[in-house]
Amino acid sequence: MIFEELIIHNFGIYKGRHKIPLSPKSEQKPIILFGGLNGGGKTTFLDALQLTLYGKFARCSNRGNMSYDDYLRETINRHCPEKEGASLELTFSSYMDGVLQTYQIKRFWRSAGKTIKEDMEVIHNGSLDPVMTEQWYEYVDEFIPLSISSLFFFDGEKIEALADPEGAADLIRTGITSLLGLDIVDKLSTDLNALLRTGIRNTKTIKTQPKDLAAISKQEAELLELKAREKGLSSNLASTSTAIDIYSKEIESLTTSYRIAGGDLFDQREAMTAKLKDIKTNIERKELQLRKQAEGCAPLALVEELLWQSLNQANAESTGRETKQFLDKVTQRDSELIQYLEAIGTNQASTKLIKDKLVAENNALSKKIPEDFYLDISVEAFADLNPQRFNESRLASKLLIEELAVLEEQRINSERNLSAVPEEATLADIQRQLSDSESALIQERAKYSILEDQLSLVKRQHEQAELRLSNLKIADNKNNFDTEIDQQVIKNVGSVKKILEKFHHVMVEKHIKHLESLILDSFISLIRKSKLVKRITIEPENFKLTLFDKDLKPIPSNRFSAGERQILAVSILWGLAKASGRPLPAIIDTPLGRLDSKHRKQLIGNYFPKASHQVILLSTDEEIDQSYRNDLSKYIGREYHIEYQESLQTSTITEGYF
């Protein structure tokens, strides 16, 4: 089993949403190391894991004697909006029959006045599993049974007390009985003791009742009548149950027929019609927009090149007219000038030069006059036309045409779908049968409920009548008969208790040697005095743990230092965890406790890397300091730092140790 991810939202000291990946990055790096100061939120993180898994049965650190609702109310972060509430989500994976399965447990709760509203979901392989959600308290025992959870979730600072004789015995007793399922045997034995205390009548207090045959006969007659009524009601209830099954199957069959006949499409016809109407409306709107485009310059885009040629011709004709008018005036002026020169007797050669010069200039101007003036359009007629406007018009028209094409395709599909909708008359018979069957089913279920209540009442009356008859008969029996029954019960209870005790003893003896070996191996690998302990024994009767030195002499518990007692407690937990045979993560808060430096190195080197395939350590900087962190570095897959941010009013979890 691997814890993949924990999400904390408004839980305890954590305000807002905090997502923490937990899966080891490789088999060689099983450790996920959290660092933080005391009060920063490390224990709250451990509580979050346990609360997500076990809910109202979780053994959280600061719950005490609070009710579950009160505890949930206290865990909601006081700085978050009240309507948000709190939530926890734990994702883990586990192999079942060789196949990897993933699970996500979600718990949500919020204040609802004087009460707390709590919900939970179990997501199995990506899908909500209603059965697991409803029965999670039974399913969780398949993964991490609550009875052995303390072997895998523990506070290193508090486990020293487990190493004294009584604490060790209690821990081993709890571990062995849970691992072997002997807690059920102990519960049965306790129930037998209760039976002996409360179920056996004291014959000295039994008073002989006078015979009352008339009362017995009357009670027997009443009992017979009740039996007959109960039988009749049971028969009617069975018939009604059969009718319910028949109608249910009939409804299922009709529903299938309705769907095959196109009932689903028929049920959607209004929505499909409305959709088609919207599509047609959009088509009309787009066509209107396209027509408005056509009212502008869009049609001219078809002859754009000819249009620009016309513009050039219009410019040429306009310039030609102006030039022609100018040339006419210049020619008249030139003629008057020559006449004037001749009149004043100017030299003929000079006059000729001037005349030739003027003629040449006029000829040059006349070449600028177009040969044909066929367009006869003003240049101002082209004032609103330009390439940019044509480009914008073409782009807008193209988009409208593309949108119209999409809408037309949608229209065709919608009309095709509507054409596939069967006529109401086609489905009418099935609808009528379905309606009749559903009405009949409702009536039969109501009838069943009434019969069930009546049968329950008659059964109670039957039981009470039997009890009254039994009391009358018992009162009519002699005291020696009651005494004989009592003695027989006492004898049988005693025999069963002896069998249970023998079974309990045999099962414990069978497995206790293996556990002794596991605890000893764990202790030797962790204690710095490798020859301090030669042997460890556990007494099957009281689970007392005894350690022997190299000479096989018992070692008094007061001979051990506080650190050695803590190492012994860790060894007991480790041994029990190995004995469980369950590949479960180990989560340790305050992992080094009050250990001295040498014992800390033993845990750093020999326990944490081997405690499990996934080890989550919640430490302060004074426990796993930089030196110890460096020693662990080759086994660390992930590192996080937990720190309270006063400005944000929340603890935060960031990557990196310190």
Is 219 in the same domain as 318? no
User: What is the mean pLDDT of each successive set of 10 residues along the chain, which is 658 residues long?
Assistant: 96 95 93 92 93 92 87 93 92 90 95 90 95 91 80 73 68 72 67 63 45 74 87 90 91 84 76 88 88 72 71 76 82 84 84 85 79 72 71 81 89 81 77 88 91 89 84 63 64 74 77 86 80 86 86 83 80 83 85 77 87 91 87 93 92 90
Is 334 in the same domain as 448? no
Instruction: Assign 110 to helix, strand or coil.
Output: strand
Is 305 in the same domain as 411? yes
Which residue among 458, 476, 494 closes a domain?
476
DSSP class of residue 95?
A: E
User: Pick from 284, 279, 301, 281: which is nearest to 396 by CA?
Assistant: 301
pLDDT of residue 2: 94
The encoded tokens of residue 363 equal 């000829």
CB of 286 closer than 8 Å to CB of 407: yes
- Burial of 389 per CB tally in 10 Å (0-12, 13-18, 19+): middle
Distance CA 385, CA 391 (A): 11
Specify the pairing of strand 153-155 against strand 535-538.
Answer: unpaired
User: Would you say residue 454 lies in a domain?
Assistant: yes
Other residues' Cβ atoms within 10 Å of the Cβ of residue 363: 10
Instruction: Assign 601 to helix, strand or coil.
Output: helix
Distance CA 578, CA 440 (A): 61
pLDDT of residue 304: 66
**Which residues lie across from 127 on neighbouring strands?**
124
pLDDT of residue 204: 44
Number of domains in the chain: 2
Which tens digit of pLDDT belongs to each residue from 379-397? 776 766 777 777 777 788 8
pLDDT of residue 203: 42
Which residue among 393, 420, 447 closes a domain?
420
CB of 555 closer than 8 Å to CB of 596: no
Is 326 in the same domain as 383? yes
Quote the pTM value.
0.53
CB of 592 closer than 8 Å to CB of 156: yes
Rg (CA), the chain: 49
Distance CA 552, CA 151 (A): 29
Is 340 in the same domain as 300? yes
Structural domain of residue 327, as residue ranges? 292-420
16 φ/ψ angles, rounded to the nearest 5 degrees:
80, -165
Which residue among 460, 476, 492 closes a domain?
476
Is 384 in the same domain as 340? yes
Distance CA 71, CA 633 (A): 38
Instruction: Assign 172 to helix, strand or coil.
Output: helix
The answer for 603, left when phi > 0, alpha when psi is -120 to 50, beta otherwise, is alpha
Distance CA 47, CA 223 (A): 57
DSSP class of residue 558?
A: G
Amino acid at 622: E
Amino acid at 487: Q
pLDDT of residue 207: 44
User: Would you say residue 298 lies in a domain?
Assistant: yes
pLDDT of residue 22: 95
What Å distances lie between residue 73 and 61, 83, 254, 330, CA to CA? 15, 12, 50, 108
Helices (H) and strands (E) in the chain, counts: 17, 14
Distance CA 25, CA 598 (A): 29
Is 382 in the same domain as 401? yes
CB of 251 closer than 8 Å to CB of 434: yes
User: Would you say residue 245 lies in a domain?
Assistant: yes
- Burial of 597 per CB tally in 10 Å (0-12, 13-18, 19+): exposed
Alpha helices in 261-303 (DSSP H): 263-267, 269-295
Is 317 in the same domain as 370? yes
What Å distances lie between residue 414 and 253, 265, 283, 295, CA to CA? 29, 12, 13, 31
User: Would you say residue 392 lies in a domain?
Assistant: yes
Is 351 in the same domain as 305? yes
Specify the pairing of strand 31-36 against strand 615-619.
Answer: parallel
Q: At what angle do helices 182-198 and 165-180 cross, to 10 degrees?
A: 100
Which tens digit of pLDDT belongs to each residue from 351-366? 888 888 888 887 887 7
What Å distances lie between residue 131 and 36, 87, 145, CA to CA? 39, 21, 19
Question: 239-260 as b/e, with b when 16 or more CB fall inside 10 Å?
Answer: ebeebbeebeebbeebeeebee
> HSE of 198 in the Cβ direction (CA atoms, 13 Å)?
6
Distance CA 612, CA 451 (A): 57
Is 409 in the same domain as 447? no
Distance CA 383, CA 250 (A): 79
User: Would you say residue 382 lies in a domain?
Assistant: yes
- Burial of 115 per CB tally in 10 Å (0-12, 13-18, 19+): exposed
pLDDT of residue 208: 41
Is 262 in the same domain as 333? no
pLDDT of residue 209: 45
User: Would you say residue 408 lies in a domain?
Assistant: yes
User: Would you say residue 27 lies in a domain?
Assistant: no
User: Would you say residue 242 lies in a domain?
Assistant: yes
pLDDT of residue 32: 95
pLDDT of residue 198: 58
Is 352 in the same domain as 395? yes
CB of 4 closer than 8 Å to CB of 23: yes
The encoded tokens of residue 262 equal 């196109």
pLDDT of residue 281: 92
Distance CA 577, CA 586 (A): 9
